[in-house]
Amino acid sequence: MNMPLDKLPGRRGLAVRMVIAAALAAVMSAGTWVVTASEVQALENGLARTPPMGWNNYPGYRLNITEKLVKDTADKMVSSGMKDAGYTYLNIDDGWMASTRDGSGNLQVNKTKFPNGMKAVADYVHGKGLKLGIYADAGLKTCGGLPGSLDHEAADARLFASWGIDYLKYDNCFAGPGCANSTCGDTKIPALKRYTAMHDAIVASGRNILLSVCNWGQDDVTSWGASLGNMWRTTTDMNNTYARMLSIYRKNVALAAFAKPGAWNDPDMLETGNGMTATEDRTHFSLWAQMAAPLISGSKLTTASAATLALQLNKEVIAVDQDSLGRQGTLVSSTSGRDVLAKPLAGGDVSVVLFNSTDATATISTTLAAIGKPGNASRTLTDLWSGAKTTTSAISASVPAHGVVMYRVHG
């Protein structure tokens, strides 16, 4: 159900404003002020109670997004079972706009790529039971050089609402005069100010649009991301290499305290099927689920292999990501590149990932006490990739190089 944000005065409003104002003042003063997770008031727009799931064109196709690709992908999301598995959002990334605004200052679609306009695309996607996401930029230009939304927030949000957009990924390029990216120094306009403007514009539009903050973990976003958006990027862009996946994981795993229903750390989209080995793809998907990350597939769905689809459709791993408790998994131990992560689940189960980040097979072990299950009683473990069940008082497995073993520990 779409409920206008401004109709929810009890759930947002003054408290949120005060937190934003305090954060703004602190960031402006550039002091040593640090917020804790519990101080950040969540957006509470009713969206993203579990991490958003969907698809985005950027990892697989970069800016080559067209009406045909959106429709073909929507069809495949339904026929492949992705939609039924929870992948609800079909997100259009950078590349959909015309290179200039019209004479009245309105954003325009690229008519060659989207000959029937965006409303027709939204109607098609909604007709499939999916939701439509779009991309804009909180600066002068998008990262691909198309028109930015800075100082056009109200009109752009109204336009997106009129099309029936459900999700806005809001990027951070050209964040002020002379800036190509946010390392541009004094000419940069503070991110909090720019993202607040779009948040307020969405509220004023009257449509409940999920706001995905994409400022790459900069500008102290964990101190304000949850008050403005339902998710916020925590790092630079993911790509299809194990090295990048590993570095993003290491940064994102430390931010568990900031994740909660309605507000998620976003370590960027899934590159499954785009170039890593099968073992690494499985690791990537498992770690993202264990970190309660948004699961936004970046694979070329229309031509995806059976193996890539099966990986992304693992219902047991998805259930860990989507668990209603909304806790991000944390590191229990990390020894010489051998990590153990635990994620408490609703009802008392715990998911455990044994991750071997090294280049050689290794045995990784932990204890029930370490993952939050003290006492000597044996527990039943389900291996979430093989389906095998064992009853044991010890957790230990041989894990391949760059691989994981992932368990649900019952009870």
Minimal distance in Å, beta carbon 175 to ligand GLA? 12
Q: CA–CA separation, 296 vs 275, rounded Å?
A: 16
| Rounded-to-integer distance, Cα 391 and Cα 406, Å | 15
Which residues, other chains included, contact 308 with Cβ-Cβ below 8 Å and sequence gap of 6+?
272, 273, 281, 299
The one segment of 119-127, 137-145, 282-290, 346-354 that binds ligand GLA by CB under 6 A: 137-145
3-state helix, strand and coil shares in percent for the chain, rounded to the nearest 5:
35, 20, 45
Which position has the token pair 């994409």?
214
Nearer to ligand GLA, 222 or 356 (CB): 222
Among the listed residues 93, 94, 166, 171, the single catalytic one is: 171
Q: Does 271 bind ligand GLA (CB under 6 A)?
A: no
Task: Compute CA distances 248 → 57, 218, 230, 238, 269, whole Å.
Answer: 20, 14, 20, 7, 11
Q: What is the DSSP string of 35-73?
A: --GGGSPP--SS--SS--EEEESHHHHTT---HHHHHHH
DSSP state for residue 329 in the 8-state scheme:
P
Token readout for 373 is 């299950």
Q: Per the residue annotation, which of 75, 220, 237, 383 is the catalytic one? A: 237
List the one residue from 67, 93, 156, 280 that touches ligand GLA (CB under 6 A).
93
Please choose, from the candidates 397, 317, 407, 400, the residue with its C-alpha nearest in 3D space to the C-alpha of residue 371: 407
The only residue of 144, 147, 148, 262 in contact with ligand GLA, by rule CB under 6 A: 144
Q: Closer to ligand GLA at the Cβ: 142 or 230? A: 142
State the binding string over 48-87 for ligand GLA (x if CB under 6 A, else -): ----------x-----------------------------
- Closest approach of Cβ 296 to ligand GLA, in Å? 10
Number of residues near ligand GLA (by CB under 6 A): 9
Neighbouring C-beta atoms of residue 17, cutoff 10 Å: 14
Q: How far apart are CA 58 and CA 45, in angstroms?
A: 27
Residue 114 or 174: the one with the smaller Cβ distance to ligand GLA is 174
CB 166 within 8 A of CB 209: yes
Per-residue x/- mask for ligand GLA, residues 214 to 253, rule CB under 6 A?
x----------------------x----------------
Interacting residue with ligand GLA among 45, 51, 69, 94 (CB under 6 A): 94
Residues 199-218, one symbol each (x = binds ligand GLA by CB under 6 A, - = not), give ---------------x----
| Structure tokens belonging to residue 67 | 């009406």
Q: Report d(CA 309, CA 129) in Å as an integer.
A: 20
Let me know if 237 is a catalytic residue: yes
> Judged by CB under 6 A, which of 138, 143, 192, 259 binds ligand GLA?
143
Q: Cα separation of 47 and 57, whole Å?
A: 22
Q: From 109-117, 141-149, 328-336, 384-392, give the range in contact with ligand GLA by CB under 6 A.
A: 141-149
Binding mask 163-202 for ligand GLA (x = CB under 6 A): --------x-------------------------------
Q: Catalytic positions, please? A: 171, 237
Binding residues for ligand GLA, rule: CB under 6 A, are 58, 93-94, 142-144, 171, 214, 237
